[in-house]
Chains A and B, each alone.
Chain A
Amino acid sequence: MELFFQRLIDGLSQGSVYSLIALGLVIIYRGTGHLNFAQGEMALFCAYCVYQFGEWGIPVWIALVLGMAVGFAVGAASEVTLVRPISKKSPFAVFVVTLGLFTFLNWLDGAIWGNQQLPNSGVGSKQQSYPSLFPNAPDDFWQPFGVTIRYERAGILALVLVITALLFLLFNKTKFGLAMRAVASNTESAKLAGIRTNTVLMVSWGLAAAIGAVGGVVIAGLNSNVNLGLMFTVFIYGSAAATLGGFDSPIGAVLGGLIIGVVENMASGYAQEWIGQDMKLSVAFMVILVVLLFKPSGLFGTAKVERV
């Protein structure tokens, strides 16, 4: 039983990273109907930046905020310079643009920071391991009822819940959130209500990338290092989380991420011999497939309701 709770908690904290990536995807999808393939790589770029800030001696939480600012700028700039002009011509071209951005950002990371994992004493890193947002020494854990809860894992889960709550307040209690929901629902009517739809879309992309940045820093922290391939599977899990939760539901994205994290950990933990590490991805996707068979718009997604 202790093992069950152990895996539950590990799964939740792992899943909260997927939630952050999924949240970014959902914010952009709701606003523009586009799937941003570069979401993971934007997060990775920010994670590299936070490593760099750490090398310059900037404390990790300040580095995180700076990393989020970098993410916001990258996301907003991508929307204004690439996505907006091209989506006017063809929505399918946006798909290619975000794929291009994906490969470009990965190349850029390699060009700036090399292709070795960082920190790395071989290239003269001052940091021993990737900066962690929470205490993560070997004895930094509670052990209630025999379940080991590491401070780092609990902290990450709490951080994701706080971000979710703040987003909920932004969407539902602020004027700007109302504008975001209005643009997502009907862009033309939003214009006719006097909403600056271009500003809303730019900020949405910025916000999505800033949230993704937190995900990138958290996963690099859990991994103790950052490397060029870090976000590949995380992005796949993140998009799966968004699909599972419903692509237009922020709450769905968070829960979808947590569910996938738990399923992944349970599957590889309980059926190690025949599922193991390599197959756990497939198990997560089988769960999603079954859910979507019965609920095509995702667990919390809204099927479009329109009456004529």
Chain B
Amino acid sequence: MPLLDVKDLKAGYGPVNVLDGMHLHVDQGEFVVMLGANGAGKTTTMRAISGLIPRHGSIVFEGHDIHKASADSIVRSGIAQVPQGRGTFPELSVEDNLLAGAYVRHGGDGVHDDMDKWFAVFPRLAERRAQRAGSLSGGEQQMLAIARALMSRPKLLLCDEPSLGLAPLITQELFAVLERLNRDEGLSVLLVEQNANLAMHIANRVYLLETGQIVASGSAEELGADDAIRKAYLGF
């Protein structure tokens, strides 16, 4: 049984459905990347899974259908999202951002240990622990957003275009951290990207999304081997 199984997902804004019956799944411990151009529906997919927008169809996580659940109960069930752009609380200190990330956990057990752990993974956040998140650089804010999401100890991490607006070196650094978390801690990841090159290297499986539909899926090698797909979608 997949960890996350999405079937016939329809979602959008107002009367317009951006997603019109999409299917995808993420297995336990998998690193899945979804590629697609602007407007393909990548962010809408993430927002629908997290319960931020109304959606229809079935979204089954660990055997429970969550397509009607509220955003906060979805976090409680073990899905954390790093939203596109700024997923931080700009007026709050770095430490308070992380504490807010641990909001769904009961009691204070291990919260500070986890905080130290993420400070070790992202040493630049440790140096700025008392600063307001809004004063951090774009890359630091993205690190903070990821650490904030991980503070809830999720089973599945959703990442919406973490590379957006970041220098290539910083993006590589972030992806290396995500890859390590996936490999060493068994964290399942669903990551959405426009930047095909970087993301495909770390993916177990890739989906190609076009106008609200999955048009191809497979391992990075399989998709890379298909000339038509490579030219049309991957740009290399």
Binding site for B on A (CB under 8 A): 175, 178-179, 181-182, 184-186, 188-197, 248, 302, 304-308
Contacts and interface: CB of A to CB of B under 8 A. Distances in A.
Nearest to B50: A192
A24 B99 CA distance: 26
Given A306-B134, A307-B135, A194 B89 contact: no
B170 interface: no
Nearest to A196: B72
17 contacts: A182-B89, A182-B96, A185-B91, A186-B86, A186-B88, A186-B90, A188-B52, A189-B87, A191-B50, A192-B83, A192-B149, A193-B148, A194-B72, A305-B135, A306-B86, A307-B134, A307-B135
B152 A308 contact: no
A308 B149 CA distance: 21
B122 interface: no
B126 interface: no
Interface centre among B90, B99, B148 (most CB of A within 10 A): B90
A179 B52 contact: no
Contacts of A175: 103
A189 B88 contact: yes
Nearest to B105: A194
A178 B100 contact: yes
Nearest to B148: A193
B66 interface: no
A307 B137 contact: yes
Interface size on B, as a range, is 35 or more
B162 interface: no
B72 A195 contact: yes
B75 interface: yes
Given A306-B134, A307-B136, A193 B152 contact: yes
Given A181-B91, A188-B52, A306-B90, A194 B134 contact: no
Q: Top 6 A-B pairs ranked by shortest CB distance?
A: A194-B75, A194-B104, A185-B89, A191-B71, A185-B91, A182-B100
Given A178-B103, A194-B152, A189 B52 contact: no
A193 B71 CA distance: 9
A190 B138 CA distance: 19
Interface in B107-164: 132, 134-138, 141, 145, 148-149, 152
Contacts of A182: 89, 92, 96, 100, 103
Contacts of A302: 91
Interface of B: 50-52, 70-72, 75-76, 80-81, 83, 86-92, 96, 99-101, 103-104, 132, 134-138, 141, 145, 148-149, 152, 165
A197 B73 CA distance: 12
B136 to A, nearest CB: 7
A184 B52 CA distance: 17
B83 A189 contact: yes
B138 A307 contact: yes
Nearest to A192: B81
B103 A194 contact: yes
Contacts of A192: 50, 52, 71, 75, 80-81, 83, 87, 149
B103 A179 contact: yes
A193 B138 contact: no
Contacts of B88: 186, 189
Contacts of B83: 188-189, 192
B90 A185 contact: yes
Contacts of A185: 89-92
Nearest to B47: A188
A305 B132 contact: yes
A191 B90 contact: no
B96 A181 contact: yes
Given A195-B72, A196-B72, A305-B134, A181 B81 contact: no
A307 B144 CA distance: 14
B75 A178 contact: no
Given A196-B72, A305-B132, A184 B152 contact: no
Contacts of B80: 192
Contacts of A179: 100, 103
A207 to B, nearest CB: 19
A248 B165 CA distance: 29
A195 B100 contact: yes
Given A196-B72, A306-B86, 8 more contacts: A178-B100, A182-B89, A182-B92, A185-B89, A185-B91, A188-B83, A193-B104, A195-B72
